[in-house]
Structure 1
Amino acid sequence: MKIKLGLLYGGKSAEHNVSLQTAKAVIKALDLTKYEVHPIYISETGEWARGTQLEGPVEDVKKLQLKEAGEKISPVALNSEIFPVPGNSESQTKDEKLDVVFPLLHGPNGEDGTVQGLLELLNIPYVGNEVLASAAGMDKVMMKNIYEQAGIKQPQYVWYIRSQWEKDAEAAYENVEKNLGYPCFVKPANLGSSVGISKCEDRKSLEKAFVEAFEYDRKIIIEEGIDGRELEIAVLGNDDPECSVVGEIVPKAGFYDYKAKYEDGSTGLIIPADITKEQYEEIKNVAIQSFKALDGSGLVRADFFLTKEGDVLMNEVNTMPGFTPFSMFPMLWQESGLSYTKLIEKLVELGIERHEEKQKIKHTF
């Protein structure tokens, strides 16, 4: 019997378009002899729509927005056994129920634990990290605080909320200059795909970066610039995660920004990276340590700096990394012997496995 798989994509986020590209790629890779694929689209304003079962790849991402063939739904309609839909017969409820949902959402309102919490309440199996890991992994400040507590080495950082900055911007700039210096990076705390990130070389660029980052979040983080190589490793699993080979990012511009990632291809990717066996083991061990510190499940991509002195520093993890065939996470697994199609199947298996484990928990006393 085929697995009824709901693909959840789009989202009320600045990374909406990235999610559409991810959904298009996953649909193309899925084995339709194993899966019934049901598209679920979230618009940029937060409206939900469910499309009819897909019979093949979707070439135009505009069709994924379900403006013609989509039925607007309430999110709770994804499990009408728990939240009955008026007028639905028992047979309709059975037909509509999904076996598992794959949230292909990036950024706030999707990767941050909100949708994961909804799926938990609906008791629907889903792929990827649960509420805690998703929320902490999305918020760079919380993530780094957890890693500091876990003793994981990472670059120095400071952070601000908007009201704090508005009360005394000068003190904020002076604090950055005193504790981090230049160059430094200013980032929204809860966003990915390098949206709203700036590299700062002086006070003028720092002031501009604060303004831009606060357009995307009420909380921002400022990190010291590290003179080193940018390395990434993919983690896959639940309680006993495994790691891929390590890849290296070689930005041709100042840093690996949104344009370099998705538009002009001005970045070199080296897979596998030219590192020693000892360096690989250290990166792998820290990646697994960081995955477990967040209580991760399914997947993360862990990003590191390797300094000229040979120090391995954790930069961050991404709990729903870019997932097209040309994104780093699938490419790392491809080089490790796991194809894009098999990677998707493995993630679906892990999502179902984690859900079945949670069904053993007692909810009465």
Structure 2
Amino acid sequence: MTSEKKTVAVLYGGRSTEYEISLLTAYSVINAMDLEKYRVLPVYIQQDGQWIAGPEIKKKLDYKDQLLLKEDRALETRAEHWLAPSAPSAVNNRPDIVFPLLHGPNGEDGTVQGLFELLNIAYVGSGVSGSSVGMDKVLMKDVFTAHGIQGPNYLSVPRFDWENDAPSVILQVKNLIGYPCFVKPANCGSSVGISQCLSETDLSAAITKAFRFDTKVIVEEKVNGREVEIGVIGNHKLSVSVPGEIKTGDADFYDYQSKYQEGKSTLIIPADLPEKVRAELEDVAKKAFTALNLSGLARVDVFVREGDNRVILNEVNTMPGFTQFSMFPLLWQHTGISYRDLIEKLISLGIEKYNEKQKIQYRIDK
């Protein structure tokens, strides 16, 4: 685009268990954007996978359901739309950048990032490899292990192995992980499908539940300690936020209800940590971000272990919840970056990453 006002396409919804969280995130982000500075185009992905594009948003939304766009024709049938690969009118009308506010599979896992790479469109957040590995808890932890970053002990359980030899899996959990432990779908967020197992009696039901949401399950040891999160933004030069601590109240762990139901958990920002622990946390966060080849943003979740205060890396979220009341923007607000300024910073980082990639040569005869 050549106009001074940058065009930002906001992508939300999606075929994911985190569809509702995506709608909340999009509603918050769109209402925080400076509409004098940006031309905002909504693109809604229904839960059945249909893409629907809406007209430019010219004023604040009154309620979230205004994002549930309706249209007679599915977007994929419109050759003139900017998501068409090569139609001249589509190419000429492409946005300056896409803000993919999608959580979980089919959005945060490198799939939609691959689409934007093929279309050569700038987008906010990590690329294909970082998004993909950052979504898959097993691959993520394999990378962390290769980089010497300490995390909980874990075991990968493919559906084939479970269905063909469940007793061997149960024995492996007993010998390698122990109890209590957590069972999680490998490719889900927002604590969807997660169970805590206090003994072998709980394990089969927990694994069956997790397989409702993925074809691979991860079993992790339970780390006794404080749950702490920290934000990272940047491409090459990284900045970290103040840390925040999660108190889950009566819940046994930070489950879906604790995250999204009012009064179920408490966020303490900044977390009261010894300076040595905070320095270690910042170092681990940057190492994890770099190890996964991330860009733009991430929220890094750790445990501060009881007894020795050791920082144990749990996981990294490449597109964390982004409502005004979510941990990631709250961490940056307490660090000194407002919600609106954070959005602008991430857009700027996405364009910076895109411009850097334009220097890559794809022909050898020049």
Partners of 1:152 and 1:203 lie apart in 2 by: 29
What's the counterpart of residue 141 of structure 2?
144
What's the counterpart of residue 54 of structure 1?
57
Size of the aligned set, in residue pairs, is 358
Question: Structure 2 vs 1, CA of residues 189 and 80 (structure 1 numbering), >3 Å: closer, same or farther?
Answer: closer
Where do 5+ consecutive residues of structure 1 fail to align? none
CA positional deviation for 1:71: 5.5
Aligned Cα RMSD in Å?
A: 1.5
CA positional deviation for 1:81: 7.9
Partners of 2:42 and 2:91 lie apart in 1 by: 17
What's the counterpart of residue 117 of structure 1?
114
Q: Which residue identity is paired with 1:65?
A: L
Of 195-204 and 138-147, deviating more is 195-204
What's the counterpart of residue 128 of structure 1?
125
CA positional deviation for 1:42: 0.6
Q: Which residue identity is paired with 1:30?
A: M
Q: Which residue identity is paired with 1:9?
A: Y
Please say if 1:275 is aligned against 2:264.
no
CA positional deviation for 1:77: 5.9
Does the CA contact (< 8 Å) of 1:78 and 1:122 recur in 2? Answer: no
Aligned partner of 1:37 among 10, 15, 40? 40
CA positional deviation for 1:311: 1.0
Q: Which residue identity is paired with 1:287?
A: A
TM-score (norm 1): 0.95
Question: Structure 2 vs 1, CA of residues 93 and 141 (structure 1 numbering), >3 Å: closer, same or farther?
Answer: closer
Matched residue SS, 2:58:
coil
Please say if 1:9 is aligned against 2:12.
yes
Q: Which residue identity is paired with 1:126?
A: Y
What's the counterpart of residue 358 of structure 1?
357
After TM superposition, which residue ranges in structure 1, 4 or more long, deviate above 4 angstroms? Answer: 75-78
Partners of 1:211 and 1:81 lie apart in 2 by: 40
Partners of 1:164 and 1:37 lie apart in 2 by: 47
Please say if 1:199 is aligned against 2:196.
yes
CA positional deviation for 1:82: 4.3
Does the CA contact (< 8 Å) of 1:238 and 1:354 recur in 2? Answer: yes
CA positional deviation for 1:63: 2.0
Partners of 2:348 and 2:235 lie apart in 1 by: 10
Structure 2 counterparts to residues 171-186 of structure 1, below 5 A? 171-186=168-183
Matched residue SS, 2:243:
strand
What's the counterpart of residue 336 of structure 2?
337
Q: Which residue identity is paired with 1:154?
A: G
What's the counterpart of residue 74 of structure 2?
72
Please say if 1:159 is aligned against 2:161.
no
What's the counterpart of residue 313 of structure 1?
312
Question: Structure 2 vs 1, CA of residues 81 and 254 (structure 1 numbering), >3 Å: closer, same or farther?
Answer: closer
Partners of 1:303 and 1:65 lie apart in 2 by: 32
Does the CA contact (< 8 Å) of 2:277 and 2:310 recur in 1? Answer: no
Matched residue SS, 1:128:
coil
Partners of 1:320 and 1:18 lie apart in 2 by: 11
Partners of 2:7 and 2:47 lie apart in 1 by: 26
Partners of 1:24 and 1:100 lie apart in 2 by: 18
What's the counterpart of residue 27 of structure 1?
30
Partners of 2:223 and 2:279 lie apart in 1 by: 21
Aligned-residue identity in percent: 49
TM-score (norm 2): 0.95
What's the counterpart of residue 296 of structure 1?
294
CA positional deviation for 1:72: 2.5
Question: Structure 2 vs 1, CA of residues 167 and 116 (structure 1 numbering), >3 Å: closer, same or farther?
Answer: same
Please say if 1:284 is aligned against 2:272.
no
Matched residue SS, 2:241:
strand
What are the superposed Cα offsets for residues 130-184 of structure 1, whole Å, 9 maximum, x if unpaired? 0000000000000000000000011100011101001111221121122111111
Does the CA contact (< 8 Å) of 1:24 and 1:59 recur in 2? Answer: no
Of 329-338 and 265-274, deviating more is 265-274
Of 153-162 and 263-272, deviating more is 263-272
What are the superposed Cα offsets for residues 269-324 of structure 1, whole Å, 9 maximum, x if unpaired? 10000001111111001100110001110001000000112111100000000110
Partners of 2:254 and 2:137 lie apart in 1 by: 17
What's the counterpart of residue 328 of structure 1?
327
What are the superposed Cα offsets for residues 189-248 of structure 1, whole Å, 9 maximum, x if unpaired? 000000000011122221110000001000000000011000100000001111000100
Of 128-137 and 194-203, deviating more is 194-203
Q: Which residue identity is paired with 2:75?
A: I
Please say if 1:223 is aligned against 2:220.
yes
CA positional deviation for 1:116: 0.1
